[in-house]
Amino acid sequence: MSQDNRGFNLEKVRADFPLLTRDIRGVPLVYLDNAASTLKPIHVIDRLQQYYRNETSNVHRGAHYLSSQGTVAYEASRETVRRFVNAKSIHEIIFTRGTTEAVNLVAQSWGRANFKEGDEIILTELEHHSNIVPWQMITSEKGCKIKVIPVNDIGELEFDKYLELLSPKTKMVSMSSCSNTLGTVTDVSKYIEAAHRVGAKVMIDAAQSAPQFPTDVQKLDCDFLAFSGHKVFGPYGIGALFGKEELLESMPPYQGGGSMISEVTWEKTTWAAVPQKFEAGTPAISGALGLEAALSYIMDLGFDAIIAHEHDLLEYATRELKEIPGLRVVGEAKNKAAILSFVIDGAHPSDIGSIIDQQGVAVRAGHHCCQPLMKRLGLPATVRASFSIYNTRGEVDILKQSLIKAKEFF
Ligand code: PMP
């Protein structure tokens, strides 16, 4: 596994991730829960250490050296996020706690200001709860209706049905570019184009696509897009929201507090310009610096190498696992990211997860925060193996063997 034929140095990549050297239950860790959180490369860990050892200070306020250096570094991280998603300006990048907070921000700020009774919001059957519940909260308050794009039996969205749902009543379409449960990759650009034709705005949940393929908000022409740091090799508690500048300018703040104001009097408060207007309170400074290190790491590796490696793993894993009698792959879209959900006849997914955990194999089992999708599939849960840049074909073999062993228990 030293050097594969695309010049992607897998051994070197693996050496960047200290947790991969850890034994779990006496055997080497096989980490296949990357759709939940990726592991962290040494570059990110070092950046966090460096900040806490040598640079700790609050940003934007202090008159002293450390604070002004911290502010420069924090804003430089914003520039790296801008570059990662190819936004026009750093004014379009808001640091959030992650995708969930970003969706809540748009729902509570843009939604509260723009939705009125009778309006419609379109979501998809593939969505994670974090791209459902925030919309339910605001639409139930405003008397709007949620419509849902159905998914077909192999896990692809039905574009024709989407076109039928769209109307001048549609105010927002919010959808993921990659399903965390089935791995389905949706060509969101045609959904965005169609939404814009009826005057609707579009939010893209890029939580799963951000670590797997390039994000280009200008090419997509989406209005909002969100991703989470912990799924792109970065720290917890940080993520980003992209929003078109004119939209962010027009939106009321999501939270009030320090840093987001221009002037406060007892009579009236005025807001700071974007992006500060949406970053009330002390931000996750170390998180932003760690995120910068993570995104730089990804961009240095390059998406061509990442896509080729993960595609190879997905194809290999799909082929190998299908050889196990009674195993059924759930979600076989033509365009898939390296996420493999499956069920095994007569075995509950969480039992499978616990049994293979005994062999050091980390997967996820459950509804993956997609209960409406599970209902559509007629399943209570699946086992999900999700792959990343540091996984190997050898680890797929270990997964397969551990599943064969687990089957003996049922
Ligand atoms: N959307 C998708 C597709 C996800 O996979 C996740 C995380 N599993 C989220 C949103 C929520 O991300 P976070 O918990 O980091 O806010």
For tokens 């703040």, the residue is: 253
CATH of domain 46-300: 3.40.640.10
CA of 208 to the centre of ligand 1 (A): 7
Which atom of ligand 1 lies nearest, measured to the CA of 180? 5
Predicted confidence (pLDDT) at residue 252 exceeds the cutoff of 60 = yes
- pLDDT confidence tier of residue 1, bands split at 50, 70 and 90: very low
Predicted confidence (pLDDT) at residue 139 exceeds the cutoff of 50 = yes
In a mutational test of the pocket of ligand 1, which residue from 181, 228, 230, 233 has the highest number of ligand atoms less than 8 Å from its CB? 228
For tokens 């070092």, the residue is: 46
In a mutational test of the pocket of ligand 1, which residue from 38, 97, 129, 130 has the highest number of ligand atoms less than 8 Å from its CB? 130
Alpha-carbon gap, residue 346 to 366, rounded angstroms: 16
CA of 100 to the centre of ligand 1 (A): 6
Q: Angle at the Cα of 268 (from 266 to 270), degrees rounded to 5? A: 130
Alpha-carbon gap, residue 53 to 200, rounded angstroms: 47
Alpha-carbon gap, residue 378 to 370, rounded angstroms: 12
What is the arrangement of strands in the sheet containing 170-176, beginning at the earlier edge strand?
93-96, 239-243, 224-228, 201-205, 170-176, 120-124, 145-149
Predicted confidence (pLDDT) at residue 6 exceeds the cutoff of 70 = no
Which atom of ligand 1 lies nearest, measured to the CA of 97? 16
CA of 79 to the centre of ligand 1 (A): 23
Give the β-pairing of 145-149 and 239-243.
unpaired
Which atom of ligand 1 lies nearest, measured to the CA of 100? 16
Atom 5 in ligand 1: which residue has the minimum CA distance? 180
CA of 383 to the centre of ligand 1 (A): 17
In a mutational test of the pocket of ligand 1, which residue from 100, 225, 367 has the highest number of ligand atoms less than 8 Å from its CB? 100
Which atom of ligand 1 lies nearest, measured to the CA of 368? 8
CA of 286 to the centre of ligand 1 (A): 21
In this predicted model, what pLDDT tens digit does every residue of 27-71 receive, in sequence order? Answer: 999 999 999 999 999 999 999 999 999 999 999 877 899 999 999
DSSP code per residue over 327-358: EEEE---SSB-SEEEEEETTB-HHHHHHHHHT
CA of 141 to the centre of ligand 1 (A): 24
**Contact assessment for residue 381 and residue 367, using Cβ atoms and an 8 Å cutoff:** yes
**Contact assessment for residue 142 and residue 117, using Cβ atoms and an 8 Å cutoff:** yes
Residues in contact with ligand 1 by the CB-under-6-Å rule are: 98-100, 128, 130-131, 176, 180, 205, 207-208, 228, 369
**Contact assessment for residue 310 and residue 389, using Cβ atoms and an 8 Å cutoff:** yes
CB-neighbour burial class of residue 348 (10 A; exposed 0-12, middle 13-18, buried 19+):
middle
Predicted confidence (pLDDT) at residue 251 exceeds the cutoff of 90 = yes
pTM above 0.75, yes or no: yes
Domain spanning 10-40+302-409: CATH 3.30.1360.200 = no
In this predicted model, what pLDDT tens digit does every residue of 304-352 receive, in sequence order? Answer: 999 999 999 999 999 999 999 999 999 999 999 999 999 999 999 999 9
Question: Given this model, what pLDDT does residue 61 score?
Answer: 75
Give the residue extent of every domain in the chain.
Answer: 10-40+302-409, 46-300
The catalytic residue positions are 369
Atom 4 in ligand 1: which residue has the minimum CA distance? 207
Percent of the chain residues past pLDDT 70, beyond the cut: 98
What are the tokens at 318? Answer: 């799909």
Does an H or E element contain 328, and which?
Answer: strand 327-330
In this predicted model, what pLDDT tens digit does every residue of 99-126 receive, in sequence order? Answer: 999 999 999 999 999 999 999 999 999 9
Which atom of ligand 1 lies nearest, measured to the CA of 176? 3
